[in-house]
Amino acid sequence: MPGIDELVASMNKKYKTNIIRKASELKSVEFIPYTSPKMNYLTRGGAPIGRMIELVGPPQSGKTTTALDLLANYQKLFPERFSVYLDAENTLDKDWGETLGVNWDKVILIQPESEYGEDLLDMLLDYIRSGEVGMAVLDSAPFIVPKGVAEKGLEEKSYGGNSALMKAFCDKVIPLCKKNECTFVMLNQLRENIGNMYKPYKIPCGTALTHACSQILWFTKGSLLDENGDEKSSTYPNPVGNVVNVRMEKNKVTKNDRRLDSYTLNYSSGVDDGVDTIDLGIMLNVIVKSGGWYNIPVSDGSTKKVQGREKVLDYFYNDLEEFEWLKTIVNKAAME
């Protein structure tokens, strides 16, 4: 009888594959970090590479901004690889993407005109299959319209929508993403679930997406922010940003012990990693708060004592090297 190593090798040779191996050889999950350390804390590292994640929420909740933030950070990790962005809604804002750090020269953009959903999803599969693309974004799933639905008149009812099409797509894209180490970011919408008081919202496009995704994040728009960073109500006339509330709805890649968090969005500069780094640093005791005083760690091993949160912010805004060092420390603590 052959030994187990010889048996594994012969089985791979027989089926012309290399998918059979000892489980001890399974690689650890790698992540694309978010700009906000608070998002890295919630997800224990960011978006998993080679997996599908779903960003769900109502309009203006932060889904597209979060996807673009991930895209920009992916490009920092893998500047040589391309990404593909299917803008099914035709609402992509190039300037906002640049504000968030996206290099559009390394992005293949698909903006449909009259193409059927089948063709658009086949385009994505072809790019992922090529091995040249390391991140794919679909914005958003409900705008993928199958041929059978598109050709019906407005008076004709459609049942199931694009659920069957999305199921077939998921069956193909999941193994392709794993094989080619491509991260797939699927944007979806929350819809009112009329008549169900216990579950007021539902996710369109069928349950196949829910099963296929390694992470599902739900987004809602939080409080508006004034120029001092103070939270205001939804009627505030001149906000400079808002809080983006995030809930971890599904997590199959890390410990599932973190469910709720948020990040800070500035309408001029994008994700406010300064505020989020300091707030998370305080929460994790990287910055030690005692009354109104804050003990801030310094890269040379010393500690700087500052009174008041605003002074903490001022200190790091005036010393970007120390801020980057602190952000690294806070991100490391966030992933523990």
pLDDT in tens, 96-130: 999 999 999 999 999 999 899 999 999 999 999 99
Say what the pLDDT of residue 8 is.
87
- Higher pLDDT: 12 or 273? It is 273
Sign of CA dihedral 273, 276, 282, 283: negative
Residue 154 to residue 109: CA distance in whole angstroms: 29
Please determine, looking at this structure, whether the domain spanning 274-336 carries the CATH number 3.40.50.1360: no
- Per-residue pLDDT averaged across 305-314, rounded? 91
**Amino acid letter for position 160:** G
Q: Is the pLDDT of residue 202 over 80?
A: no
Tell me the backbone φ, ψ of residue 27, rounded to 5 degrees. Answer: -75, 145
Same fold, 28-271 and 274-336: no
Specify the DSSP class assigned to residue 136.
E
Confidence tier at 336 by pLDDT (50, 70, 90): confident
Q: Is the pLDDT of residue 261 over 70?
A: yes
- Per-residue pLDDT averaged across 234-244, rounded? 96
- Asked if 216 and 210 count as a contact pair (C-beta separation under 8 A), the reply is yes
Provide the residue ranges of all domains of the chain, joining segments of one domain with +. Answer: 28-271, 274-336
- For tokens 């099963």, what's the residue? 211
- Per-residue pLDDT averaged across 230-244, rounded? 96
- Asked if 150 and 161 count as a contact pair (C-beta separation under 8 A), the reply is no
Say what the pLDDT of residue 203 is.
79
- Per-residue pLDDT averaged across 242-269, rounded? 96
Say what the pLDDT of residue 50 is.
97
Q: Give the distance, in angstroms, between the CA of residue 147 and the centroid of all CA atoms in the same chain.
A: 29
Q: Is the pLDDT of residue 296 over 60?
A: yes
- Per-residue pLDDT averaged across 250-272, rounded? 96
With both helix axes pointing from N to C terminus, report the angle between 309-317 and 320-334 in degrees, rounded to the nearest 10. 120
Q: Is the pLDDT of residue 150 over 80?
A: no
CATH number of this structure's domain 28-271: 3.40.50.300
Contacts of 70 (CB under 8 A, 6+ apart): 32, 34, 46, 47, 135, 183, 185
Q: Is the pLDDT of residue 4 over 90?
A: no
- Per-residue pLDDT averaged across 75-80, rounded? 97
Give me the chain's average pLDDT, please: 92
Say what the pLDDT of residue 161 is.
75
Confidence tier at 159 by pLDDT (50, 70, 90): low
